[in-house]
Amino acid sequence: MATITKVADSITPDETQTLEETPKISTAWKGHFSRSEINEYLLPGKDKTSTLLRIWGPAEGGARIKMDDIGTINFICGRHDKEYGNGSGKLNMSSHGGMWKNEGTLHIVCNSSEDPEAAAQKDSSGEAKTDKDGLNVKIESGNYTEQTAGGQRYIEANIVHIKAIDQLILEGSNGIRMITGGDIVRSATDETNIVDNKMDVIFGQDLKTGVKENTTVSFDPRATQTVLTPGHLNHKILGDYKLWVAGNYQHWTAGLQPGTKLIKNAPASVDVRAFLDDLKIKAKKGIEMITDTEGIYAEAKKGDIDILTKDGDMTFESTGDATIESTSGDLTLKGKETTSISGKSVEIDSTGGDVKISTSGGIIKLN
């Protein structure tokens, strides 16, 4: 069996680094109380120009400042540990103002623990994490202004909580979008929306609960409100219902039978009922009732039926037979002037009583 000595052939030769003369350390100062020191480093390199200046704090803390020959400054704090206290390993700065300007990208990474008293949790680099807030910015007085020119501000978190003591203003020059896969809950004392056009696209249920008053005011004389639905429209009103129309009112009903019904056992295409009081229909001009194939039926189970005209003629006309009948009371035909009964043949029949023809001072003519 052949012995495998290599996996693949290398394209470039192996890198080597000679450390005969470097690194070199030159100590400029060293303290004897805390073992702090300032020293220079000469790092490996052919040109011998890779250098560092380091300022070491007390040896127990491990904090240091590193400056290299390419203009980089590193502030490195010591370890954060519960044994050293909650303030260990922190970088603290205090000033009366200043300016921080970055020509390139700035990355700020903060790690924290939910419990500030928890045991130290260290990351892969050995740094501990014990603070509750990853980043806490507090402005004692004055405004806090951020401006991103030609870019985007992106915030991502499990919960984003924005609280304003006075007012919260969201202003978008080209629009504001709220997108969520869950619920949107709004709670306010008053709400005012000022828009040119509004469109709501609802795929589910639109429910309003606890509305004291709902008023729609349109100042434009061309304003139109349209309700268009392939389903049902249901209104249940416990109080009064008032509809006042300055123009014409048109109500058309086709009487189709949908697959899913809202009205069970619908008796007719249009059903208007008054259960506890009168039903009144009044018009300034005429009232017209026309049926194409079926008749018109009017019944009073209790009470009278009065058909009156105070100024005009009244006509009952039928192309077929016409019957005026009183099944349990008298029938009276009375005219203030002449009362005329005419026909090709006229029959007067009394099934159980007399037939009386009388006149008050006139003449009865039988021809």
Tell whether 51 is covered by a domain. yes
As a whole number of angstroms, the distance between CA 246 and CA 243 comes to 10
Neighbours of 130 (CB within 10 A): 20
Q: What is the pLDDT of residues 66-83, one digit of tens each?
A: 999 888 999 999 887 778
Tell whether 363 is covered by a domain. no
Q: What is the pLDDT of residues 291-331, one digit of tens each?
A: 888 888 888 888 888 888 888 888 888 888 888 888 888 88
Residue 296: which residues within 8 A CB-CB, separation 6 or more?
289
At residue 128, the pLDDT reads 47
Tell whether 40 is covered by a domain. yes
Q: Is 167 exposed, middle or buried (0-12, 13-18, 19+ CB in 10 A)?
A: exposed
CB-based contact 28:39 (threshold 8 Å): yes
Considering the domain architecture, whether residues 85 and 48 belong to the same structural domain is answered as no
Tell whether 54 is covered by a domain. yes
Considering the domain architecture, whether residues 72 and 36 belong to the same structural domain is answered as yes
Considering the domain architecture, whether residues 32 and 68 belong to the same structural domain is answered as yes
Q: Which amino acid is at 79?
A: R
Q: What is the pLDDT of residues 158-183, one digit of tens each?
A: 888 888 889 999 998 889 999 998 99
Considering the domain architecture, whether residues 43 and 85 belong to the same structural domain is answered as no
At residue 222, the pLDDT reads 83
At residue 67, the pLDDT reads 93
- Which residues in the chain show pLDDT less than 50? 116, 119-120, 128-130
Tell whether 209 is covered by a domain. no
Tell whether 238 is covered by a domain. no
At residue 12, the pLDDT reads 77
Verdict on whether the full-model pTM lies above 0.85: no
Considering the domain architecture, whether residues 23 and 63 belong to the same structural domain is answered as yes
Number of domains, the chain: 2
Residue 238 φ then ψ, to 5°: -85, -20
Considering the domain architecture, whether residues 58 and 29 belong to the same structural domain is answered as yes
Considering the domain architecture, whether residues 38 and 85 belong to the same structural domain is answered as no
At residue 73, the pLDDT reads 92
Boundary of a domain, candidates 78, 99, 122: 78
Host domain of residue 50:
19-78
Tell whether 175 is covered by a domain. no
Considering the domain architecture, whether residues 44 and 84 belong to the same structural domain is answered as no
Tell whether 167 is covered by a domain. no
At residue 54, the pLDDT reads 93
At residue 330, the pLDDT reads 85
